[in-house]
């Protein structure tokens, strides 16, 4: 805590007391303090410098300017008592607070004006720190612990992501090499709740009614008989369980068969809904959740369904 002598010396000036009263409630820039106190920039800066030297005020950079505030541990009971008394005695205190609220509202209005100007296109351009991976990570934190089957798991990148919250993830794939790579990745990452099993998504090596959630992540279009894979998902799900399918919307990019070993050129929403309903799922819903800007502009479909309790 700053020296009591320093505190008393620096707060002896009424204008510095006014500044402290303002900074007690809000972070403010030099320009904002000028507008509130109707003082010159050099005068404000001098007062702030003395308050900083006394350990009562600190600043943080924000763009080309700085915002000032009371130090977290600089006030103590002594300064708080002085500010309480000053608030009652200084004739300018009430007007300062009213002006400060208007000044802060201007700052909020400026921010609001920015978002008004980009409404309808925010997110279509680059936004710092915004990523679908970040959104996925956040949503995973909300997922309750459960047993999950990742069918057509490949190397298991999605399985490792799900494992952060799952009680257990069973990753199934037909490729022995993929299973081997997945196990190595889990070992390197120290993930112990992912079990890799070699098997076909149309004959899943998982017991009946033993998992809470089944995921097909861009894998269903590799199945020879997608409807059978969806029926297998229904079989291994517990009553009340859920199926989630992320796959390509129907397209005409024939090269995908050779490039990516795709058996099906995606699915229509009605096809996925029909598969889910025929397998016995209730509340089937589908929607397009992403469209790639580059040719051939693949679209991603999301389909979900529930197994009755």
Local confidence pLDDT in tens for the 309 residues of the chain? 556 777 788 888 999 999 999 998 899 999 999 999 999 999 999 999 999 988 889 998 877 788 999 987 655 666 778 888 888 889 998 999 999 999 989 888 887 776 677 666 655 565 666 667 777 778 888 889 999 999 999 999 889 989 988 999 999 999 999 999 999 999 999 999 999 999 999 999 999 999 999 999 999 999 999 999 999 999 999 999 999 999 999 999 999 999 999 999 999 999 999 999 999 999 999 999 999 989 999 999 999 999 999
Q: Boundaries of CATH 1.10.10.10 in the chain? A: 4-118
pLDDT of residue 187: 94
Q: Which residue has the tokens 């909300």?
A: 142
Q: What is the CATH number that goes with domain 4-118?
A: 1.10.10.10
Q: Which of 190, 149, 189 is nearest to 167 (CA)?
A: 149
Percent of the chain clearing pLDDT 70 (strictly above): 92
pLDDT of residue 118: 63
Q: Boundaries of CATH 3.40.50.150 in the chain? A: 132-306
The Cα 131–Cα 19 span in angstroms is: 40
pLDDT of residue 194: 97
Percent of the chain clearing pLDDT 90 (strictly above): 67
Considering the entire predicted model, what is its pTM?
Answer: 0.63
pLDDT of residue 127: 60
> According to the 3-state scheme, what is the secondary structure of the chain?
CCCHHHHHHHCCCHHHHHHHHHHHHCCECHHHHHHHHCCCHHHHHHHHHHHHHCCCEEEEEECCEEEEEECCCCCHHHHHHHHHHHHHHCCCHHHHHHHHHHHHHHHHHHHHHHHHHHCCCCCCCCCCCCCHHHHHHHHHHHCCCCEEEEECCCCCHHHHHHCCCCCEEEEEECCHHHHHHHHHHHHHHCCCCEEEEECECCECCCCCCCEEEEEEECCHHHCCCHHHHHHHHHHHEEEEEEEEEEEEECCCCCCHHHHCCCCCCCECHHHHHHHHHHHCCEEEEEEEEEECCCCCCCEEEEEEEECCC
Is 3.40.50.970 the CATH classification of the domain at 132-306?
A: no
pLDDT single digits (tens) 204-214: 999 999 999 99
């Amino acid at each position: 805590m700053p020296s009591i002598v320093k505190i008393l010396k620096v707060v002896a000036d009424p204008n510095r007391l006014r500044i402290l009263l303002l900074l007690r409630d809000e972070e403010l820039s030099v320009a904002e303090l000028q507008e509130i106190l109707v003082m010159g920039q050099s005068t404000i800066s001098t007062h702030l410098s003395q308050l900083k030297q006394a350990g009562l005020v600190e600043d943080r950079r924000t763009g080309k300017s700085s915002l000032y505030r009371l130090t977290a541990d600089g006030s103590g009971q002594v300064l708080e008592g002085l500010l309480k008394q000053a608030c009652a005695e200084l004739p300018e205190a009430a007007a300062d607070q009213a002006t400060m609220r208007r000044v802060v509202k201007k700052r909020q209005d400026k921010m609001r004006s920015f978002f008004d100007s980009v409404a309808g296109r925010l997110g279509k351009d680059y936004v710092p720190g915004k990523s679908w991976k970040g959104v996925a990570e956040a949503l995973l934190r909300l997922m309750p612990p459960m047993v999950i089957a990742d069918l057509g798991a490949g190397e298991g990148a999605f399985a490792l992501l799900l494992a952060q919250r799952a009680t257990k993830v069973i990753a199934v794939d037909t490729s022995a090499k993929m299973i081997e790579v997945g196990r190595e990745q889990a070992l390197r990452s120290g993930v112990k709740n992912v079990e890799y099993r070699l098997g076909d998504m149309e004959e899943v090596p998982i017991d009946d009614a033993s998992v809470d959630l089944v995921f097909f992540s861009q894998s269903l279009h590799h199945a020879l008989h997608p409807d059978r894979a969806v029926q297998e998902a229904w079989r291994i799900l517990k009553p009340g369980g859920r199926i989630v399918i992320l796959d390509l919307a129907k397209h005409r990019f024939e090269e995908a068969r050779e490039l990516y070993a795709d058996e099906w050129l995606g699915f229509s929403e009605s096809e996925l809904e029909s598969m889910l309903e025929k397998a016995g799922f209730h509340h089937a819903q589908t929607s397009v959740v992403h469209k790639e800007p580059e040719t051939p502009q693949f679209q991603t479909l999301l389909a979900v369904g529930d197994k009755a309790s």
